[in-house]
Amino acid sequence: MKVGITFKLFLFVLLACAAVVVVHGAAIRLVMERGFLGYLRQQGQMRMEEVVPRLQEAYVVRGSWDFLRADFGEWVALVSPFLREPGVDTAPRVASSDQTGAMARMGLLDASMRRVVGNPDVDASSFRIPIVVEGRTVGWVAMVPFEAVLPKNDERFLEQQFKALTMVGLGSILVAALLTFFLARALLRRLRDMAQATHQLAAGDYASRIAAVANDELGALAKDFNRMAQTLEHTERARRGYMADISHELRTPLAVLRAQLEAIQDGIRSPTVQSTNAMHLQVERLGRLVNDLHDLSLSDVGAMTYRRVPLDVATVVHAAASSMQERLEAASLQLVLQIGQAPLMISGDEPRLHQLFGNLLENSLRYTGRGGVLQVGCARHGANALIVVEDSAPGVPEDKMEKLFERFYRVEASRNGATGGSGLGLAISRNIVEAHEGRITASASQLGGLRIAIELPLASG
């Protein structure tokens, strides 16, 4: 049989409360029996110690205990809390309390442990104090325990008190059970909501959310769950968009290739240099897309190989820009280099950094209008090397800046994607920068286009 957490929590709290009540009741009973009765025994012992000197004095005067056997009144006079002067008057000389009934519980034993006078139940097993005269034990003052002479009414009173204590304990356990039930039900209702939301999330319902109704640990857990669900929902949406974008990017060049090849196969068009070049361009486009997807997948899982060595990043930037010079001139774009002479040494992988700067320059080449300007700068910025690539119009809306580094994202309205970009270059660039412990940001350029800034930590020493 499966035991639910509701019952477990209820039972645990109830048992804890019951244990407290039982321990509390047992402690009270122990205090009553050990403490109070112990107090009565101590008071009785004190009364016995008061009586011993009187009996010693009486034994010295009489020479034996026979006078007590013959006259019980003498015994009463000796053990009474109101002591009288023997043979003088009847006025009390000393008054002491006898609320514990010690007088009725005391008795006298002779040297042979035989009862002489007093309580008939005293014997050798009773608590006793020796009476010593001239170094010889002539008798014993003995006392019956308080519990043995406790009146029946008093016994019933104590039993009633213990029963009342037991009923109070049972009532306390009942109250604890009710409080525990309502507490467990309220607490477990929130846990059930969390469990239900978790099941929905596991089943693929990423829109599942939990209401954070309280500012406690469960409320914090609900908020963390909602953030996780939101992240999964965003990831799932991005995955679907990613697959749609991949299929679209692959379908376009394949459709062009199929159309060209089918036209040649059907004899509609004969192979020419122009048709061959057109197909070659589509194959190159497919090759770039496949390579970009491969690089992106490797960088996402951290499997992209980096062989980092000390190098001058300014030299790498200059080399990447120089390799694009001819293509920029063909597109009527002016290249402006602002690279200082001082070396900027970092720990980096030169091929990957060249790929990074090539992606940024390729992005500006594709999307900058003819007759525009492409400006590349490299300088020291505190403990980092700052590389800036910015271009002229068209620009990117401010609300689209954060999405530029998402895979397949392109701002179609202003920086036309029809020029052939796959939308993966900036995503790959971000992963390369992060692999070098750097930071890449996008913002509006004063030239009217886009400004990409990269900060890479300089090598120490």
What pLDDT is attached to residue 91?
41
Task: Name every residue whose Cβ is closer than 8 Å to that of residue 323 and which is 6 or more positions away in sequence.
Answer: 358
What pLDDT is attached to residue 149?
59
Reply yes or no on whether the pLDDT at 306 is more than 50. yes
Reply yes or no on whether the pLDDT at 7 is more than 70. no
What is the tens place of the pLDDT at every residue in 438-458? 999 999 999 989 999 999 999
What pLDDT is attached to residue 420?
47
pTM of the model: 0.46
Which domains, from first to last, does the chain contain? 5-149 (no CATH), 220-300 (1.10.287.130), 309-457 (3.30.565.10)
Reply yes or no on whether the pLDDT at 414 is more than 70. no
What is the tens place of the pLDDT at every residue in 147-195? 665 555 555 666 777 777 778 777 777 777 777 777 777 777 777 788 8
Reply yes or no on whether the pLDDT at 200 is more than 80. yes
Give the residue among 191, 183, 180, 181 at the shortest CA–CA distance from 213.
191
Confidence grade of residue 419 (pLDDT, cut at 50, 70, 90): very low
Instruction: Find the mean pLDDT for residues 361-386.
Output: 90
Of 160-174, 189-203, 217-231, which gets the smallest average pLDDT? 160-174
Report percent pLDDT > 70 for the chain: 80
Confidence grade of residue 389 (pLDDT, cut at 50, 70, 90): very high
Of 190-199, 312-321, 404-413, 440-449, which gets the smallest average pLDDT? 404-413
What pLDDT is attached to residue 417?
43
Reply yes or no on whether the pLDDT at 434 is more than 70. yes
